[in-house]
Structure 1
Protein backbone atom coordinates (compact mmCIF):
# COMPACT_ATOMS: atom_id res chain seq x y z
CA UNK A 1 0.00 0.00 0.00
CA UNK A 2 1.46 3.41 -0.95
CA UNK A 3 2.39 5.76 1.90
CA UNK A 4 -0.05 8.52 2.69
CA UNK A 5 1.05 12.11 3.17
CA UNK A 6 0.68 11.56 6.91
CA UNK A 7 2.92 8.47 6.77
CA UNK A 8 5.65 10.43 5.00
CA UNK A 9 5.30 13.26 7.51
CA UNK A 10 5.66 10.80 10.39
CA UNK A 11 8.92 9.60 8.89
CA UNK A 12 10.21 13.11 8.17
CA UNK A 13 9.52 14.07 11.79
CA UNK A 14 12.12 11.47 12.77
CA UNK A 15 14.66 12.12 10.00
CA UNK A 16 16.94 14.53 11.85
CA UNK A 17 17.09 12.25 14.91
CA UNK A 18 17.79 9.21 12.74
CA UNK A 19 20.56 11.04 10.88
CA UNK A 20 22.15 12.12 14.16
CA UNK A 21 22.08 8.53 15.44
CA UNK A 22 23.46 7.23 12.14
CA UNK A 23 26.30 9.76 12.12
CA UNK A 24 27.42 8.82 15.63
CA UNK A 25 27.22 5.13 14.79
CA UNK A 26 29.09 5.33 11.47
CA UNK A 27 31.32 8.39 11.80
CA UNK A 28 30.28 9.37 8.27
CA UNK A 29 27.60 11.86 7.25
CA UNK A 30 27.16 10.41 3.77
CA UNK A 31 26.83 6.85 5.10
CA UNK A 32 24.36 8.08 7.73
CA UNK A 33 22.25 9.70 5.00
CA UNK A 34 22.29 6.44 3.03
CA UNK A 35 21.24 4.45 6.10
CA UNK A 36 18.35 6.82 6.76
CA UNK A 37 17.24 6.53 3.13
CA UNK A 38 17.34 2.73 3.41
CA UNK A 39 15.25 3.05 6.57
CA UNK A 40 12.69 5.07 4.62
CA UNK A 41 12.51 2.38 1.94
CA UNK A 42 11.73 -0.19 4.64
CA UNK A 43 9.12 2.17 6.12
CA UNK A 44 7.65 2.48 2.65
CA UNK A 45 7.43 -1.31 2.29
CA UNK A 46 5.96 -1.92 5.75
CA UNK A 47 2.34 -2.04 6.85
CA UNK A 48 2.74 1.20 8.80
CA UNK A 49 -0.79 1.07 10.21
CA UNK A 50 0.26 -1.94 12.28
CA UNK A 51 3.35 -0.22 13.71
CA UNK A 52 2.36 0.90 17.19
CA UNK A 53 5.36 3.13 17.97
CA UNK A 54 6.90 4.47 14.74
CA UNK A 55 9.87 6.11 16.52
CA UNK A 56 10.91 2.82 18.12
CA UNK A 57 10.40 0.88 14.86
CA UNK A 58 12.43 3.36 12.82
CA UNK A 59 15.22 3.48 15.40
CA UNK A 60 15.47 -0.31 15.42
CA UNK A 61 15.60 -0.52 11.63
CA UNK A 62 18.21 2.23 11.35
CA UNK A 63 20.38 0.83 14.15
CA UNK A 64 20.45 -2.63 12.62
CA UNK A 65 21.28 -1.21 9.19
CA UNK A 66 24.17 0.68 10.80
CA UNK A 67 25.34 -2.45 12.63
CA UNK A 68 25.53 -4.27 9.31
CA UNK A 69 27.37 -1.30 7.84
CA UNK A 70 29.86 -1.22 10.72
CA UNK A 71 30.64 -4.90 10.27
CA UNK A 72 31.37 -4.48 6.56
CA UNK A 73 33.16 -1.18 7.17
CA UNK A 74 35.73 -2.89 9.35
CA UNK A 75 36.68 -5.14 6.46
CA UNK A 76 36.84 -2.18 4.04
CA UNK A 77 39.04 -0.15 6.38
CA UNK A 78 41.64 -2.90 6.36
CA UNK A 79 42.33 -1.89 2.75
CA UNK A 80 41.83 1.86 3.31
CA UNK A 81 44.78 3.93 2.12
CA UNK A 82 46.49 5.44 5.17
CA UNK A 83 44.77 6.39 8.42
CA UNK A 84 40.96 6.37 8.66
CA UNK A 85 39.32 9.24 10.54
CA UNK A 86 35.64 10.18 10.98
CA UNK A 87 34.00 12.87 8.89
CA UNK A 88 34.01 16.17 10.82
CA UNK A 89 30.89 18.35 10.95
CA UNK A 90 30.97 22.13 11.30
CA UNK A 91 29.02 24.08 13.91
CA UNK A 92 25.28 24.25 13.34
CA UNK A 93 25.04 21.07 11.30
CA UNK A 94 21.76 19.39 12.34
CA UNK A 95 23.39 15.99 12.05
CA UNK A 96 25.37 16.77 15.20
CA UNK A 97 22.13 16.10 17.05
CA UNK A 98 21.27 16.96 20.65
CA UNK A 99 23.78 18.96 22.69
CA UNK A 100 21.84 19.76 25.84
CA UNK A 101 23.98 17.70 28.21
CA UNK A 102 27.71 17.20 28.63
CA UNK A 103 27.27 13.53 27.69
CA UNK A 104 25.53 14.42 24.45
CA UNK A 105 28.19 16.96 23.49
CA UNK A 106 30.97 14.57 24.41
CA UNK A 107 29.50 11.70 22.37
CA UNK A 108 29.86 13.65 19.14
CA UNK A 109 33.28 15.18 19.82
CA UNK A 110 35.89 14.23 17.25
CA UNK A 111 38.07 12.59 19.91
CA UNK A 112 35.24 10.33 21.11
CA UNK A 113 34.10 9.50 17.56
CA UNK A 114 37.65 8.32 16.93
CA UNK A 115 37.71 6.31 20.17
CA UNK A 116 34.42 4.66 19.24
CA UNK A 117 36.21 2.98 16.36
CA UNK A 118 37.72 0.69 19.00
CA UNK A 119 34.31 -0.53 20.16
CA UNK A 120 32.49 -3.53 18.77
CA UNK A 121 29.41 -2.67 16.69
CA UNK A 122 27.09 -3.66 19.58
CA UNK A 123 29.10 -1.64 22.09
CA UNK A 124 28.97 1.38 19.84
CA UNK A 125 25.23 1.09 19.32
CA UNK A 126 24.47 0.75 23.02
CA UNK A 127 26.82 3.61 23.92
CA UNK A 128 25.31 5.97 21.35
CA UNK A 129 21.68 5.15 22.12
CA UNK A 130 22.18 5.44 25.88
CA UNK A 131 24.76 8.22 26.23
CA UNK A 132 23.69 10.52 23.42
CA UNK A 133 19.97 9.88 23.16
CA UNK A 134 19.03 8.68 26.63
CA UNK A 135 17.26 5.49 25.56
CA UNK A 136 16.37 3.26 28.53
CA UNK A 137 18.22 -0.06 28.65
CA UNK A 138 14.90 -1.84 28.17
CA UNK A 139 14.35 -0.14 24.79
CA UNK A 140 17.97 -0.64 23.76
CA UNK A 141 17.59 -4.35 24.53
CA UNK A 142 14.51 -4.52 22.29
CA UNK A 143 16.31 -2.68 19.48
CA UNK A 144 19.29 -5.05 19.59
CA UNK A 145 17.37 -8.22 20.49
CA UNK A 146 19.35 -8.79 23.68
CA UNK A 147 18.35 -8.88 27.34
CA UNK A 148 18.13 -5.73 29.43
CA UNK A 149 20.91 -7.04 31.69
CA UNK A 150 23.11 -7.60 28.64
CA UNK A 151 22.41 -4.07 27.41
CA UNK A 152 23.54 -2.69 30.77
CA UNK A 153 26.71 -4.78 30.74
CA UNK A 154 27.57 -3.76 27.19
CA UNK A 155 27.00 -0.09 28.04
CA UNK A 156 29.27 -0.17 31.10
CA UNK A 157 31.95 -1.97 29.09
CA UNK A 158 31.72 0.55 26.24
CA UNK A 159 31.80 3.54 28.58
CA UNK A 160 34.88 2.14 30.31
CA UNK A 161 36.66 1.72 26.96
CA UNK A 162 35.90 5.35 26.08
CA UNK A 163 36.93 6.60 29.54
CA UNK A 164 40.21 4.66 29.38
CA UNK A 165 40.99 6.26 26.04
CA UNK A 166 40.35 9.72 27.46
CA UNK A 167 42.91 9.53 30.22
CA UNK A 168 43.24 13.30 30.60
CA UNK A 169 40.78 15.90 31.75
CA UNK A 170 39.47 18.14 29.00
CA UNK A 171 38.98 21.87 29.50
CA UNK A 172 36.23 24.38 28.79
CA UNK A 173 35.65 25.68 25.26
CA UNK A 174 36.91 29.22 25.90
CA UNK A 175 40.23 27.95 27.26
CA UNK A 176 40.50 25.43 24.43
CA UNK A 177 39.94 28.16 21.85
CA UNK A 178 42.64 30.30 23.45
CA UNK A 179 45.10 27.39 23.27
CA UNK A 180 44.30 26.83 19.59
CA UNK A 181 44.90 30.53 18.94
CA UNK A 182 48.27 30.19 20.67
CA UNK A 183 49.00 27.12 18.57
CA UNK A 184 48.28 28.97 15.31
CA UNK A 185 50.54 31.84 16.38
CA UNK A 186 53.30 29.38 17.27
CA UNK A 187 52.84 27.32 14.09
CA UNK A 188 53.30 30.38 11.89
CA UNK A 189 56.28 31.72 13.87
CA UNK A 190 58.66 29.34 12.12
CA UNK A 191 60.00 28.15 15.48
CA UNK A 192 59.62 24.72 17.04
CA UNK A 193 60.05 25.57 20.74
CA UNK A 194 56.77 27.48 21.22
CA UNK A 195 54.89 24.57 19.65
CA UNK A 196 56.53 21.97 21.87
CA UNK A 197 55.46 23.91 24.97
CA UNK A 198 51.80 23.67 23.90
CA UNK A 199 51.88 19.89 23.39
CA UNK A 200 51.76 16.94 25.73
CA UNK A 201 54.88 14.79 25.70
CA UNK A 202 53.05 11.96 23.96
CA UNK A 203 51.16 14.15 21.45
CA UNK A 204 50.26 12.61 18.09
CA UNK A 205 49.29 13.98 14.68
CA UNK A 206 47.18 11.86 12.32
CA UNK A 207 46.03 12.67 8.80
CA UNK A 208 43.35 11.07 6.60
CA UNK A 209 43.83 11.68 2.90
CA UNK A 210 42.01 8.55 1.73
CA UNK A 211 44.65 8.04 -0.93
CA UNK A 212 43.37 11.15 -2.73
CA UNK A 213 45.38 13.83 -0.94
CA UNK A 214 48.94 13.38 0.37
CA UNK A 215 48.85 12.35 4.03
CA UNK A 216 51.42 10.39 6.01
CA UNK A 217 50.33 6.78 6.47
CA UNK A 218 51.85 6.64 9.95
CA UNK A 219 51.09 9.07 12.77
CA UNK A 220 53.67 11.53 14.03
CA UNK A 221 54.35 10.69 17.67
CA UNK A 222 55.90 12.75 20.47
CA UNK A 223 55.88 16.50 21.09
CA UNK A 224 59.04 17.26 19.11
CA UNK A 225 58.03 15.24 16.03
CA UNK A 226 54.55 16.76 16.02
CA UNK A 227 55.92 20.28 16.50
CA UNK A 228 58.33 19.88 13.58
CA UNK A 229 55.51 18.56 11.40
CA UNK A 230 53.23 21.47 12.28
CA UNK A 231 55.98 24.01 11.71
CA UNK A 232 56.58 22.55 8.26
CA UNK A 233 52.85 22.31 7.53
CA UNK A 234 52.36 26.06 7.97
CA UNK A 235 55.63 27.11 6.31
CA UNK A 236 55.00 28.98 3.03
CA UNK A 237 56.07 27.04 -0.03
CA UNK A 238 55.52 27.41 -3.77
CA UNK A 239 55.39 23.61 -4.07
CA UNK A 240 52.49 23.47 -1.60
CA UNK A 241 50.65 26.22 -3.42
CA UNK A 242 51.11 24.39 -6.71
CA UNK A 243 49.76 21.13 -5.26
CA UNK A 244 46.76 22.83 -3.62
CA UNK A 245 46.09 25.10 -6.57
CA UNK A 246 46.49 28.24 -4.50
CA UNK A 247 46.95 29.48 -0.96
CA UNK A 248 44.03 28.44 1.27
CA UNK A 249 42.67 30.74 3.94
CA UNK A 250 42.88 29.51 7.53
CA UNK A 251 39.90 29.99 9.84
CA UNK A 252 39.39 29.18 13.50
CA UNK A 253 35.89 27.77 13.94
CA UNK A 254 34.09 24.89 15.64
CA UNK A 255 33.73 21.30 14.48
CA UNK A 256 31.95 18.58 16.45
CA UNK A 257 31.50 20.99 19.32
CA UNK A 258 35.15 21.94 19.86
CA UNK A 259 37.57 24.51 18.37
CA UNK A 260 38.92 23.46 14.98
CA UNK A 261 41.09 24.89 12.22
CA UNK A 262 39.56 24.97 8.74
CA UNK A 263 41.45 25.54 5.49
CA UNK A 264 39.35 26.95 2.65
CA UNK A 265 40.33 27.48 -0.98
CA UNK A 266 37.97 29.14 -3.47
CA UNK A 267 35.00 28.46 -1.19
CA UNK A 268 35.87 24.77 -0.82
CA UNK A 269 36.89 23.26 2.51
CA UNK A 270 40.10 21.35 1.81
CA UNK A 271 41.06 20.46 5.36
CA UNK A 272 39.74 20.41 8.91
CA UNK A 273 42.19 20.07 11.78
CA UNK A 274 40.63 18.92 15.05
CA UNK A 275 42.98 19.38 18.03
CA UNK A 276 42.30 17.41 21.20
CA UNK A 277 42.83 19.89 24.02
CA UNK A 278 43.44 18.61 27.55
CA UNK A 279 44.46 20.17 30.85
CA UNK A 280 48.02 19.04 30.08
CA UNK A 281 48.17 20.57 26.61
CA UNK A 282 47.29 19.53 23.07
CA UNK A 283 47.27 15.73 23.05
CA UNK A 284 46.40 15.11 19.40
CA UNK A 285 45.81 16.66 15.99
CA UNK A 286 43.43 14.78 13.73
CA UNK A 287 43.52 16.23 10.24
CA UNK A 288 40.80 15.38 7.74
CA UNK A 289 41.87 16.18 4.16
CA UNK A 290 40.05 13.42 2.25
CA UNK A 291 37.84 15.43 -0.15
CA UNK A 292 35.08 12.80 0.04
CA UNK A 293 34.73 13.55 3.77
CA UNK A 294 34.66 17.33 3.32
CA UNK A 295 31.76 17.74 0.88
CA UNK A 296 29.13 18.29 3.57
CA UNK A 297 31.45 20.68 5.41
CA UNK A 298 31.88 22.67 2.20
CA UNK A 299 28.11 22.96 1.79
CA UNK A 300 27.76 24.04 5.41
CA UNK A 301 30.58 26.55 4.99
CA UNK A 302 28.90 28.13 1.97
CA UNK A 303 25.67 28.55 3.94
CA UNK A 304 27.26 30.14 7.02
CA UNK A 305 28.82 33.47 7.98
CA UNK A 306 32.47 32.74 8.72
CA UNK A 307 34.28 36.05 8.27
CA UNK A 308 37.72 36.67 6.81
CA UNK A 309 40.52 34.11 7.22
CA UNK A 310 43.11 34.64 9.94
CA UNK A 311 45.92 34.17 7.41
CA UNK A 312 46.88 32.22 4.28
CA UNK A 313 48.17 28.74 5.00
CA UNK A 314 51.10 28.76 2.62
Structure 2
Protein backbone atom coordinates (compact mmCIF):
# COMPACT_ATOMS: atom_id res chain seq x y z
CA UNK A 1 0.00 0.00 0.00
CA UNK A 2 1.20 3.49 -0.78
CA UNK A 3 0.87 5.87 2.14
CA UNK A 4 2.50 9.09 3.31
CA UNK A 5 5.67 7.18 4.06
CA UNK A 6 5.95 6.37 0.34
CA UNK A 7 5.77 3.07 -1.50
CA UNK A 8 8.22 0.40 -0.46
CA UNK A 9 9.38 1.98 2.81
CA UNK A 10 10.56 -0.76 5.15
CA UNK A 11 8.65 -0.87 8.45
CA UNK A 12 11.94 -1.30 10.25
CA UNK A 13 13.33 2.00 9.06
CA UNK A 14 13.00 3.55 12.51
CA UNK A 15 15.16 6.56 11.68
CA UNK A 16 12.76 7.63 8.97
CA UNK A 17 9.78 6.99 11.23
CA UNK A 18 11.37 8.86 14.13
CA UNK A 19 12.01 11.88 11.92
CA UNK A 20 8.36 12.01 10.85
CA UNK A 21 7.31 11.69 14.49
CA UNK A 22 9.61 14.52 15.62
CA UNK A 23 8.03 16.83 13.03
CA UNK A 24 4.73 16.39 14.88
CA UNK A 25 5.98 16.30 18.48
CA UNK A 26 5.22 19.98 19.27
CA UNK A 27 1.64 19.59 18.03
CA UNK A 28 1.15 16.41 20.04
CA UNK A 29 2.53 18.03 23.21
CA UNK A 30 0.12 20.94 22.73
CA UNK A 31 -2.84 18.54 22.42
CA UNK A 32 -1.78 16.53 25.46
CA UNK A 33 -1.10 19.61 27.64
CA UNK A 34 -4.59 20.97 26.99
CA UNK A 35 -6.03 17.55 27.76
CA UNK A 36 -4.09 16.89 30.97
CA UNK A 37 -3.00 20.27 32.33
CA UNK A 38 0.40 18.79 33.15
CA UNK A 39 3.50 19.12 31.03
CA UNK A 40 5.12 16.03 32.57
CA UNK A 41 2.03 13.91 31.92
CA UNK A 42 1.76 15.38 28.42
CA UNK A 43 5.34 14.30 27.71
CA UNK A 44 4.48 10.78 28.91
CA UNK A 45 1.44 10.65 26.62
CA UNK A 46 3.50 11.73 23.62
CA UNK A 47 6.16 9.14 24.43
CA UNK A 48 3.48 6.46 24.65
CA UNK A 49 2.32 7.46 21.17
CA UNK A 50 5.86 6.87 19.89
CA UNK A 51 5.98 3.42 21.54
CA UNK A 52 2.70 2.48 19.87
CA UNK A 53 3.83 3.81 16.52
CA UNK A 54 7.06 1.85 16.81
CA UNK A 55 5.03 -1.34 17.26
CA UNK A 56 2.66 -0.60 14.36
CA UNK A 57 3.12 -1.50 10.74
CA UNK A 58 3.42 1.76 8.86
CA UNK A 59 1.45 0.20 6.01
CA UNK A 60 -1.57 0.47 8.29
CA UNK A 61 -1.11 4.22 8.76
CA UNK A 62 -2.35 6.35 5.88
CA UNK A 63 -2.45 9.67 7.75
CA UNK A 64 0.34 9.81 10.31
CA UNK A 65 -0.67 13.15 11.82
CA UNK A 66 -4.27 12.09 12.35
CA UNK A 67 -3.22 8.68 13.65
CA UNK A 68 -0.82 10.16 16.21
CA UNK A 69 -3.34 12.76 17.38
CA UNK A 70 -5.90 10.00 17.90
CA UNK A 71 -3.42 7.87 19.86
CA UNK A 72 -2.41 10.78 22.11
CA UNK A 73 -6.07 11.64 22.66
CA UNK A 74 -6.87 8.06 23.68
CA UNK A 75 -3.93 7.95 26.08
CA UNK A 76 -4.99 11.27 27.64
CA UNK A 77 -8.63 10.15 27.91
CA UNK A 78 -7.55 7.02 29.78
CA UNK A 79 -5.38 9.12 32.10
CA UNK A 80 -8.24 11.54 32.83
CA UNK A 81 -10.54 8.63 33.65
CA UNK A 82 -7.97 7.11 36.00
CA UNK A 83 -7.42 10.50 37.64
CA UNK A 84 -11.14 10.95 38.21
CA UNK A 85 -11.61 7.39 39.52
CA UNK A 86 -8.92 7.96 42.15
CA UNK A 87 -10.82 10.85 43.67
CA UNK A 88 -13.33 9.79 46.27
CA UNK A 89 -14.87 13.22 46.00
CA UNK A 90 -14.43 15.77 43.20
CA UNK A 91 -11.93 18.47 44.14
CA UNK A 92 -13.36 21.94 44.37
CA UNK A 93 -10.24 23.41 42.76
CA UNK A 94 -7.37 21.79 40.93
CA UNK A 95 -4.82 24.24 39.60
CA UNK A 96 -2.96 22.56 36.74
CA UNK A 97 0.81 22.40 36.47
CA UNK A 98 1.86 25.65 34.78
CA UNK A 99 4.48 26.36 32.18
CA UNK A 100 7.03 28.59 33.87
CA UNK A 101 9.16 31.10 31.97
CA UNK A 102 11.46 34.00 32.84
CA UNK A 103 9.74 37.39 32.86
CA UNK A 104 11.61 38.34 29.66
CA UNK A 105 9.48 36.03 27.55
CA UNK A 106 8.66 32.58 26.20
CA UNK A 107 10.92 30.41 24.11
CA UNK A 108 9.63 29.19 20.70
CA UNK A 109 8.56 25.77 22.03
CA UNK A 110 6.54 27.36 24.82
CA UNK A 111 4.89 29.71 22.34
CA UNK A 112 3.59 26.66 20.43
CA UNK A 113 2.35 25.05 23.65
CA UNK A 114 0.56 28.19 24.80
CA UNK A 115 -0.96 29.36 21.52
CA UNK A 116 -4.59 30.48 21.77
CA UNK A 117 -4.10 31.98 25.25
CA UNK A 118 -3.95 28.73 27.20
CA UNK A 119 -3.74 30.40 30.59
CA UNK A 120 -4.25 28.85 34.00
CA UNK A 121 -7.80 30.19 34.25
CA UNK A 122 -8.82 28.28 31.11
CA UNK A 123 -7.07 25.11 32.24
CA UNK A 124 -8.80 25.28 35.63
CA UNK A 125 -12.16 25.32 33.85
CA UNK A 126 -11.12 22.40 31.63
CA UNK A 127 -10.29 20.47 34.82
CA UNK A 128 -13.97 20.68 35.78
CA UNK A 129 -15.16 18.96 32.60
CA UNK A 130 -15.93 15.28 32.27
CA UNK A 131 -13.15 13.45 30.37
CA UNK A 132 -15.19 12.92 27.19
CA UNK A 133 -16.35 16.54 27.23
CA UNK A 134 -12.81 17.79 27.61
CA UNK A 135 -11.52 15.62 24.78
CA UNK A 136 -14.32 16.61 22.40
CA UNK A 137 -13.88 20.32 23.13
CA UNK A 138 -10.09 20.32 22.95
CA UNK A 139 -9.86 18.31 19.74
CA UNK A 140 -12.64 20.13 17.91
CA UNK A 141 -12.54 23.71 19.17
CA UNK A 142 -8.78 24.03 19.64
CA UNK A 143 -7.44 21.76 16.90
CA UNK A 144 -10.26 21.50 14.36
CA UNK A 145 -10.61 17.71 14.47
CA UNK A 146 -13.92 16.66 12.85
CA UNK A 147 -16.54 15.01 15.02
CA UNK A 148 -16.48 11.97 12.74
CA UNK A 149 -12.93 11.36 13.98
CA UNK A 150 -13.66 12.26 17.60
CA UNK A 151 -16.68 9.95 17.88
CA UNK A 152 -14.76 6.61 17.89
CA UNK A 153 -12.37 7.90 20.57
CA UNK A 154 -15.18 8.74 23.01
CA UNK A 155 -17.25 5.75 21.82
CA UNK A 156 -20.20 7.92 20.84
CA UNK A 157 -21.93 8.92 17.64
CA UNK A 158 -20.68 12.06 15.83
CA UNK A 159 -23.87 13.83 16.95
CA UNK A 160 -23.22 12.87 20.56
CA UNK A 161 -19.59 14.02 20.30
CA UNK A 162 -20.87 17.35 18.97
CA UNK A 163 -23.15 17.64 22.01
CA UNK A 164 -20.25 16.92 24.36
CA UNK A 165 -18.21 19.71 22.79
CA UNK A 166 -21.16 22.09 22.86
CA UNK A 167 -21.78 21.43 26.55
CA UNK A 168 -18.11 21.99 27.32
CA UNK A 169 -18.04 25.16 25.22
CA UNK A 170 -20.89 26.70 27.21
CA UNK A 171 -19.08 26.02 30.48
CA UNK A 172 -15.80 27.43 29.18
CA UNK A 173 -17.41 30.57 27.78
CA UNK A 174 -19.26 31.16 31.04
CA UNK A 175 -16.31 30.59 33.37
CA UNK A 176 -13.02 31.24 31.56
CA UNK A 177 -12.31 34.98 31.17
CA UNK A 178 -10.61 36.20 28.01
CA UNK A 179 -7.30 37.76 29.08
CA UNK A 180 -6.00 41.11 27.82
CA UNK A 181 -3.44 40.70 25.06
CA UNK A 182 -1.16 43.58 26.08
CA UNK A 183 1.51 41.98 28.28
CA UNK A 184 2.92 45.36 29.38
CA UNK A 185 -0.52 46.42 30.61
CA UNK A 186 -0.95 43.09 32.40
CA UNK A 187 2.39 43.53 34.14
CA UNK A 188 1.43 47.02 35.27
CA UNK A 189 -1.82 45.77 36.82
CA UNK A 190 -0.17 42.79 38.54
CA UNK A 191 2.66 45.03 39.76
CA UNK A 192 0.13 47.38 41.34
CA UNK A 193 -1.55 44.42 43.05
CA UNK A 194 1.74 43.13 44.47
CA UNK A 195 2.80 46.58 45.62
CA UNK A 196 -0.52 47.13 47.40
CA UNK A 197 -0.29 43.66 48.99
CA UNK A 198 3.20 44.40 50.34
CA UNK A 199 2.21 47.78 51.73
CA UNK A 200 -1.11 46.57 53.13
CA UNK A 201 -3.08 49.10 51.08
CA UNK A 202 -6.57 47.59 51.06
CA UNK A 203 -8.17 50.40 49.03
CA UNK A 204 -5.51 50.19 46.33
CA UNK A 205 -6.10 46.44 46.07
CA UNK A 206 -9.76 47.09 45.39
CA UNK A 207 -8.89 49.36 42.45
CA UNK A 208 -6.97 46.64 40.59
CA UNK A 209 -9.31 43.73 41.37
CA UNK A 210 -12.41 43.08 39.31
CA UNK A 211 -15.53 43.13 41.54
CA UNK A 212 -16.16 39.47 40.62
CA UNK A 213 -12.53 38.34 40.93
CA UNK A 214 -11.93 34.69 41.85
CA UNK A 215 -9.01 33.42 43.94
CA UNK A 216 -8.31 29.68 43.70
CA UNK A 217 -5.76 27.96 45.94
CA UNK A 218 -4.73 24.34 45.40
CA UNK A 219 -2.91 22.86 48.43
CA UNK A 220 -2.76 19.32 47.05
CA UNK A 221 -2.72 16.14 49.11
CA UNK A 222 -0.31 17.68 51.63
CA UNK A 223 -3.14 20.00 52.57
CA UNK A 224 -5.52 17.09 52.94
CA UNK A 225 -6.63 17.40 49.33
CA UNK A 226 -7.90 20.81 50.34
CA UNK A 227 -8.53 23.74 48.11
CA UNK A 228 -9.75 27.24 48.71
CA UNK A 229 -12.09 29.32 46.60
CA UNK A 230 -12.57 33.00 47.38
CA UNK A 231 -14.88 35.27 45.38
CA UNK A 232 -15.30 39.02 45.28
CA UNK A 233 -12.85 41.93 45.42
CA UNK A 234 -13.13 42.63 49.15
CA UNK A 235 -12.67 38.99 50.18
CA UNK A 236 -9.75 38.51 47.80
CA UNK A 237 -8.11 41.77 48.95
CA UNK A 238 -8.30 40.61 52.58
CA UNK A 239 -6.72 37.31 51.59
CA UNK A 240 -4.00 39.12 49.63
CA UNK A 241 -2.92 41.00 52.75
CA UNK A 242 -1.94 37.66 54.30
CA UNK A 243 0.70 37.25 51.57
CA UNK A 244 2.76 40.11 53.05
CA UNK A 245 5.17 37.89 54.99
CA UNK A 246 6.11 35.99 51.82
CA UNK A 247 6.67 39.05 49.64
CA UNK A 248 10.47 39.21 50.21
CA UNK A 249 10.77 35.78 48.57
CA UNK A 250 8.64 36.51 45.51
CA UNK A 251 10.26 36.16 42.08
CA UNK A 252 8.55 37.52 38.96
CA UNK A 253 7.85 35.01 36.21
CA UNK A 254 5.62 34.31 33.27
CA UNK A 255 3.04 31.71 34.20
CA UNK A 256 1.53 30.24 31.05
CA UNK A 257 2.58 33.38 29.24
CA UNK A 258 1.00 35.82 31.70
CA UNK A 259 2.53 37.73 34.63
CA UNK A 260 2.95 35.67 37.76
CA UNK A 261 5.02 35.15 40.86
CA UNK A 262 6.92 32.22 42.34
CA UNK A 263 7.56 32.39 46.08
CA UNK A 264 10.94 30.80 46.81
CA UNK A 265 12.26 30.97 50.40
CA UNK A 266 15.78 29.52 50.39
CA UNK A 267 15.47 28.95 46.66
CA UNK A 268 12.71 26.34 46.95
CA UNK A 269 9.26 27.07 45.50
CA UNK A 270 6.45 26.97 48.05
CA UNK A 271 3.76 28.72 46.02
CA UNK A 272 3.11 29.92 42.51
CA UNK A 273 0.59 32.60 41.59
CA UNK A 274 -0.82 33.10 38.12
CA UNK A 275 -2.91 36.16 37.27
CA UNK A 276 -5.56 36.68 34.62
CA UNK A 277 -6.06 40.32 33.68
CA UNK A 278 -9.12 41.27 31.64
CA UNK A 279 -10.45 44.75 31.01
CA UNK A 280 -7.50 46.23 32.90
CA UNK A 281 -8.33 44.46 36.16
CA UNK A 282 -7.42 41.14 37.75
CA UNK A 283 -10.30 38.72 37.23
CA UNK A 284 -8.62 35.52 38.46
CA UNK A 285 -5.71 34.53 40.69
CA UNK A 286 -4.67 30.88 40.65
CA UNK A 287 -2.32 29.67 43.36
CA UNK A 288 -0.54 26.33 43.18
CA UNK A 289 0.76 25.37 46.63
CA UNK A 290 0.91 21.60 46.17
CA UNK A 291 4.46 20.58 47.21
CA UNK A 292 4.44 17.45 45.07
CA UNK A 293 3.71 19.34 41.87
CA UNK A 294 5.83 22.35 42.76
CA UNK A 295 8.84 20.03 43.01
CA UNK A 296 8.46 19.28 39.30
CA UNK A 297 8.73 22.96 38.33
CA UNK A 298 11.92 23.95 36.55
CA UNK A 299 12.75 27.04 38.61
CA UNK A 300 16.22 27.26 37.02
CA UNK A 301 14.59 29.31 34.28
CA UNK A 302 14.28 32.13 36.84
CA UNK A 303 17.94 32.20 37.79
CA UNK A 304 19.76 35.42 37.04
Coarse TM-score class (shorter-chain normalised): 0.7 to 0.9
Residue in structure 2 matched with residue 15 of structure 1 by the alignment: 25
Structure 2 residue matching 1:52: 3-state secondary structure: coil
**What is the 5 A alignment of 1:28-177?**
28-78=38-88, 83-91=93-101, 92=106, 94=109, 97=112, 104-106=115-117, 108-141=118-151, 144=154, 146-166=156-176, 170-172=179-181, 173-177=183-187
Give 1:143 shift.
5.0
Distance 2:171 2:274 in 1: 21
Please tell me whether the aligned partners of residues 216 and 229 of structure 2 are also in contact (alpha carbons under 8 angstroms).
yes
Please tell me whether the aligned partners of residues 137 and 169 of structure 2 are also in contact (alpha carbons under 8 angstroms).
yes
Alpha-carbon distance change, 96 to 169 in structure 1, aligned in 2, over 3 angstroms: closer
Asked whether 1:276 is paired with 2:289, we answer no
Distance 1:137 1:83 in 2: 30
Alpha-carbon distance change, 115 to 217 in structure 1, aligned in 2, over 3 angstroms: closer
| Farther off after superposition, 210-219 or 257-266 | 210-219
Distance 2:140 2:282 in 1: 29
- How many residue pairs align between the two structures? 288
Asked whether 1:253 is paired with 2:253, we answer yes
Q: TM-score, normalised by structure 1?
A: 0.79
Distance 2:62 2:91 in 1: 45
Gaps of 5+ in 1: 237-246, 308-314
- Equivalent residue for 1:229, pick from 229, 239, 242: 239
Listed one character per residue, the Cα deviations across residues 279-308 of structure 1 (whole Å, up to 9, x for unaligned) are 27322211012233234532xx42x4665x
Distance 2:224 2:261 in 1: 18
Structure 1 residue matching 2:220: 3-state secondary structure: coil
Structure 1 residue matching 2:270: 3-state secondary structure: strand
Listed one character per residue, the Cα deviations across residues 160-213 of structure 1 (whole Å, up to 9, x for unaligned) are 2211113x6643333222110100110101232221232233333222221336
CA RMSD between the two structures: 3.0
Distance 1:57 1:79 in 2: 35
Distance 2:20 2:132 in 1: 27
